[in-house]
Amino acid sequence: MLKGKEIVLGVSGGIAVYKAVELTRLLVREGANVNVVMTKSAQQFVTPLTFQTLSGNPVSTELFDLTRRSEVKHVSLAEKSALLVIAPATANIIGKIASGIADDLLTTIVLATQAPILIAPAMNVHMWENPIVQDNIKRLKKIGLKFVEPGSGYLACGYEGKGRLTEPEAILKKIKALLK
């Protein structure tokens, strides 16, 4: 059902970036055309080459990019996407979106797109429980952004609790539901 659908996958800098690799694979398997946008921090965890190879598309990382055609990338990606999914979404990117900050390619696309936005947060349990993060999420839900709740369990940071990125299959299910 995702055949030919244009999906922008925003990847921000958390340890769960490796799960976004699997999500890319699942989306491509369903026939979607996936354009991955990575923040600077995300590239500390996995290189763009991995996403580029799996998606079959160039990975976008720069807002100011002179190496490609003269298109304004944040506008073209924003306009062509049927859905923007951010997985994993850091506390930082959620905060920036909630504040209307657009200081890199991904946050600029968020402001420029009219497509539905799905956010899959992943972070340390104390970050997740922080009222600042919860307030930001509440605000974004109120204006129509969709979320997939993180799961609970053992976290990569060594803590136990809520904050694990939802499994890629569950994110895929939510994407399909939103695009129905």
Ligand X SMILES: Cc1cc2nc3c(=O)[nH]c(=O)nc-3n(C[C@H](O)[C@H](O)[C@H](O)COP(=O)(O)O)c2cc1C
Would you please indicate which residues are annotated as catalytic (active-site) residues?
157
CA dihedral of 102, 36, 173, 108, whole degrees rounded to 10: 10
Q: Is 112 a residue that touches ligand X (CB under 6 A)?
A: no
Of the candidate residues 6, 15, 63, 102, the single one contacting ligand X (CB under 6 A): 15
Q: Is 24 a residue that touches ligand X (CB under 6 A)?
A: no
Identify which range of 52-60, 120-128, 138-146, 169-177 contacts ligand X by CB under 6 A. Answer: 120-128
Q: Is 168 a residue that touches ligand X (CB under 6 A)?
A: no
Q: Is 166 a residue that touches ligand X (CB under 6 A)?
A: no
* Shortest Å distance, C-beta 91 to ligand X: 4
* Shortest Å distance, C-beta 51 to ligand X: 14
Interstrand relation of 83-89 and 151-154 (parallel, antiparallel or unpaired): unpaired
Q: Is 108 a residue that touches ligand X (CB under 6 A)?
A: no
Q: For residue 89, what are its two tokens?
A: 């979404």
Instruction: List Cβ neighbours of 61 (8 Å cut-off, separation of 6 or more).
Output: 37, 38, 39, 40, 43, 48, 105
Q: Residue 151 in contact with residue 123, Cβ under 8 Å? A: no
Q: Which residues of 88-98 are buried (b: 16+ CB within 10 A; e: fewer)?
A: bbbbbbbebbb
Q: Is 61 a residue that touches ligand X (CB under 6 A)?
A: no
* Shortest Å distance, C-beta 103 to ligand X: 9
Listed residue (159, 21, 136) closest to 87, CA to CA: 21
Binding stretches for ligand X (CB under 6 A) = 12-16, 39, 41-42, 90-93, 122-123, 127
